[in-house]
Amino acid sequence: MNELQSTISQDAKDLSAWLERIESFHPEEIKLGLSRIKDIARLMDLLSPKAKVITVAGTNGKGSCVATLESLALQSNLKVACYTSPHLMVFNERIRVNGANISDRQLNNAFDKIEICRGDTALTFFEFTTLAALQIFSTKKLDLIVLEVGLGGRLDAVNIIEPDVAIITTIAKDHTDWLGNSLEEIAAEKAGIYRVDSLNLVGDEKTFNLLKASLTDSNLQYELIESNQLNSIVSLDVIHDSQINIFQLKQQNIELALTSFINLFKDKSQNIDLKQIFNRVAIAARFQTIQNKPQVIIDVAHNPQAALNLSNQIESLQCNGNRIAICGLMSDKAISEYIQILSETIDIWIFVDLPSQRGALAKDLMDCLIDVSDIVNSQAEVLVEEASVHKCFNSISLACDYVDKLIAPSDQLYVIGSFITVSEFLKLEKEFN
């Protein structure tokens, strides 16, 4: 091994050790609030980025909105950085500069600086990694920083930064343990990213009305994206002529990105080439086909709102065989509602345990399927026969072995649910290819 390879290998080992350490930080042992991370960010001079900042929150659609913003900036020859979560394959995916993942060495250096500055101050995993992103961004000459909210908004670590534009894509039930059981409570938490002196955007009318009913601050103004915003710039034919899967990039998220970008960079708006932008957008694991015959599609839809969109996508594809799903979910999700929505389109369910303390057990997912299925009302022998079609496994590997023997060329396989489900599947695919 030459010197360069040895250095790269050591950087990777160091990063692995860092991630293992900060993953051991437990948020339930740390008092919620932004004061701790804000104090450290102030000490590190990270609270006032020189670049324009767009913060993106919402139950679904954040990824496609961020990806469009990144593509808009790159096509306009602007320097752009993005902070997103979670990742699929490697942690570095979460922090990108000019479309490229950050290096192990840069992450290690950022973690070292944070460790020195924080002293005895406790930080959660997300607080630590958010500071790392901000530290790395502070060393770059940037025109735009896009910060994706990890969970909620008001108490999310990225909310220590004052945005020039704040976006809420959609609001639906998710993370109820943290955000509240009602849509009104969730709306109030997500709206915590809004500022009186920033441009605050809303993705759809349902979310706009929910915010109106939930927020009492009359000084806080927010705008609903107009349905003709995109048409005023370019014909929607451009979308259909481009190579982007239209299901991956919903119109409202394009409109949110465009409105935000044009508001901040008006001088660039005349040169926007949406066809080129769409062809450059890459959104991994959003109804992404990774194999044909049999067709294999991966999707990280993991809440009811995303499940409804996924169900529509599945139904849009002709299938001459069975639609098989390998599914693993986190236990804090609305599992019954999720499975009920997709049960009309999936013929065979393969449930898996996830290698995570938060992961739901496959047998519990199976119980939910039985509870929501029409077969509950059928005769007992029909129930047993129908239920025997579906299977539970304690690992993605075993589930894949089973599916390999079961699947026919005319079938479709959907690997869905948690990011961990899709990530574990992709690791197996990489190992065998």
The CB density around residue 371, as the number of other CB atoms within 10 Å, is 12
C-alpha to C-alpha distance for 155 and 274, rounded to whole angstroms: 35
CB burial of 256-272 (b: ≥16 within 10 Å; e: otherwise) equals bbbbbbbebbeebeeeb
Secondary element (H or E) of residue 200:
strand 199-202
Question: Average pLDDT per run of 10 along the chain, which is 433 residues long?
Answer: 62 92 77 90 98 96 93 95 95 97 97 95 94 98 97 93 97 66 86 95 92 88 73 51 53 89 90 78 87 95 92 94 97 91 95 92 94 57 54 96 95 97 91 57
pLDDT for 384: 39
Task: Identify the pLDDT of residue 99.
Answer: 95
Q: What pLDDT shows up at residue 4?
A: 52
Q: Which helix (H) or strand (E) holds 368?
A: helix 362-372
DSSP string, 276-296: HHHHH---TTSSEEEETTTEE
Instruction: Kindly state the DSSP code that residue 330 receives in the 8-state scheme.
Output: B
Question: 84-90: long-range contacts (C-beta < 8 A, 24 or more apart)?
Answer: 84/148, 85/126, 85/129, 85/148, 85/150, 86/150, 86/419, 87/419, 87/423, 88/284, 88/285, 88/300, 88/419, 88/422, 88/423, 88/426, 89/423, 89/426, 89/427
- In angstroms, rounded to a whole number, what is the distance separating the alpha carbons of residues 412 and 287? 12
The Cα 339–Cα 332 span in angstroms is 14
Predicted pLDDT at 183 = 87
Kindly report the backbone phi and psi dihedral angles of residue 325, in degrees, each rounded to the nearest multiple of 5, phi listed first: -125, 125
Rounded Cα–Cα distance for residues 130 and 96 (Å) = 13
- The rounded Cα 68 to chain-centroid distance in angstroms is 14
> Are the CB atoms for 404 and 384 separated by under 8 Å?
no
CA-wise closest residue to 311 among 338, 291, 285, 332: 338
Q: Given this model, what pLDDT does residue 375 score?
A: 47
- Residue ranges and CATH numbers for the domains of the chain are 10-280 (3.40.1190.10), 288-432 (3.90.190.20)
Structure confidence at residue 378 (pLDDT): 45
Beta-strand relationship, 199-202 and 165-168 = parallel
pLDDT score, position 281: 79
Q: How big is the CA angle at 114 (ends 108 and 119), to the nearest 5 degrees?
A: 135
Yes or no: say if 211 and 191 are a contact pair by the CB < 8 Å rule: yes
pLDDT of residue 290: 94
Q: What are phi and psi of 176, to 5 degrees?
A: -65, -25
Q: In sequence order, what are the beta bridge partners of 100? A: 97
Contact criterion met (CB below 8 Å) for 325 and 311? no
Distance CA 281, CA 97 (A): 15
d(CA 85, CA 335): 21
Q: What pLDDT score does 379 carry?
A: 39
Neighbours of 427 (CB within 10 A): 14
Q: How far apart are CA 351 and CA 349, in angstroms?
A: 6
Tokens describing residue 205: 């009318």
For residue 324, the surrounding DSSP H or E stretch is strand 323-328
What are the two backbone dihedrals, phi and then psi, of residue 54, each rounded to the nearest 5 degrees? -120, 125
Q: What's the pTM?
A: 0.89
Is residue 327 helix, strand or coil?
strand
pLDDT on residue 173 = 72
Show Cβ contacts of residue 20 under 8 Å, excluding neighbours closer than 6 positions: none
Determine which helix (DSSP H) or strand (DSSP E) holds 138, and give its type and residue range. helix 125-138
Tally the residues of the chain. Answer: 433
How many Cα atoms are found within 13 Å in the side-chain-facing hemisphere of 392? 16
pLDDT at 418: 96
User: How far is Cα 73 from Cα 81, in angstroms, rounded to an integer?
Assistant: 10
Looking at residue 333, what is its pLDDT? 83
